[in-house]
Amino acid sequence: MLQFEKSKQLQELPKQFFASLVAKVNAITAQGHDVINLGQGNPDQPTPEHIVKRLQTAAEKTINHKYSPFRGHQYLKDAAASFYEREYGVKLDPKSEIAILFGGKAGLVELPQCLLNPGDTILVPDPGYPDYLSGVVLAQAQMERMPLKEENAFLPNYEAIHKDVLDKAKMMFLNYPNNPTGASATGEFFSETVSYAKEHSICVVHDFAYGAIGYTGRKPISFLQAEGAKDVGIEIYTLSKTYNMAGWRVGFAVGNKSVIEALELLQDHLYVSLFPAIQEAAATALLDSQECVEELVKVYEGRRNVFIEGLRDIGWEVKAPDASFFAWLKIPTGFTSESFADHLLTHAHVAVAAGNGFGEFGEGYVRVGLLTSEERLKEAVGRIRRLNLF
């Protein structure tokens, strides 16, 4: 059998960080151990029943068995516009300022290919979502890291970025609420971002994947709420986390018309849009009662409180996340991020994600997903307690 060599672009793609984590967990599980897996970001709750029922009904319509319009059904774009006006007070033109996506990840990987030429510079948060790097490589772009440090509330410090880098940069990824740190952005920070983007002609791509998940009554803000944000960029919203629709692969991009047009043009050549029944269900999720979202946030906040208080009780000095369903925990002395994660997995059978998997500035931390029951989180704390590390 002939063996065909992968293209250089594929060979240069970063290794899937979570694939190695899954392999380690599987190896321990194969030995007969019960692993509490807090290392991944897969929502554990079911999609709300009314959304599932809309899919079931829509799937029976023969019209939905045909190709949908290349750029998606207008009713879903209209629903996204209504959602943004209701939730954030942001007005959008559903015909020119919204693009339907095959999940948020697709848009994040596609956008560098839409706007960058080989050798162009893009600013990427570090630590950050590993798949940002995939889009950078596929666009053959050059990456400049923006360190996210605890002393700056895990926000990038634009003053610390060399002017030559800012002048060369054509795009910037941001993500608040943040994965992996759980940090939130302020309105002042987003306004500052708009100013820098205008001054240096940078397209801002804000990944708003955890936009629904904020704690102590504080709702995360949208980048588009900052004055002038649509002039300089877009925001990507996914239904994966807000409505537990991770496997459905549906999201949308909103904002700057020229960026939306570029994104839709690329997708014209890749897809024929989403299964229309999923589009109908997505519109139902966005337009119907949001009580299911409120209940979900309560679940995550309860888990956060149980887990963080438990860790503090055993002597681990940790900070509670402001938002998202992740906790970003500083590791004890004597370990690297990876050796500490391996130690927890091997000796406590608790899986966490090593912080260095999210970038150079993730070293010294581990990320925990609050994606199992309070009982299992308490059990994880008990197992860590028995290691006598704190």
pLDDT at 323 over 80: yes
Please state whether beta strands 326-330 and 251-255 pair in parallel, antiparallel, or not at all (unpaired). unpaired
The average pLDDT across 203-222 equals 96
pLDDT of residue 61: 96
pLDDT of residue 22: 87
The average pLDDT across 124-130 equals 96
The average pLDDT across 311-333 equals 96
pLDDT of residue 21: 85
pLDDT of residue 313: 96
CA terminus-to-terminus distance, the chain? 56
Q: pLDDT tens, 3-13?
A: 999 998 889 88
Q: What mean pLDDT, rounded, does the chain reach?
A: 96
The average pLDDT across 236-262 equals 97
Distance CA 328, CA 363 (A): 11
- List the domains of the chain with CATH numbers: 8-46+292-385 (3.90.1150.10), 49-287 (3.40.640.10)
The average pLDDT across 84-106 equals 97
pLDDT at 201 over 80: yes
User: For residues 68 and 276, is the Cβ–Cβ distance under 8 A?
Assistant: yes
- Residue 56, C-beta contacts closer than 8 angstroms, at least 6 positions apart: none
The average pLDDT across 308-327 equals 96
What value, to the nearest 5°, has the Cα angle with vertex 175 and ends 374 and 156?
A: 115
Q: pLDDT tens, 147-166?
A: 999 999 999 999 999 989 99
**pLDDT > 70 in the chain, percent:** 100
Name the band, by pLDDT with cuts 50, 70 and 90, for residue 332.
Answer: very high
The average pLDDT across 58-66 equals 96
The average pLDDT across 141-148 equals 96
Neighbours of 268 (CB within 10 A): 12
Q: pLDDT tens, 13-47?
A: 888 777 888 888 999 999 999 999 999 889 999 99
pLDDT of residue 14: 85
The average pLDDT across 316-343 equals 96
From the CA atom positions of the chain, what is the Rg in Å?
Answer: 21
pLDDT at 271 over 80: yes
The average pLDDT across 263-292 equals 96
Name the band, by pLDDT with cuts 50, 70 and 90, for residue 190.
Answer: very high
C-alpha pair distances (Å), 337 with each of 25, 151, 386:
16, 19, 20
Kindly state the tokens that stand for 99.
């693009």
C-alpha pair distances (Å), 331 with each of 49, 355, 385:
40, 9, 14
Q: What is the DSSP letter of 152?
A: G
Distance CA 336, CA 362 (A): 10
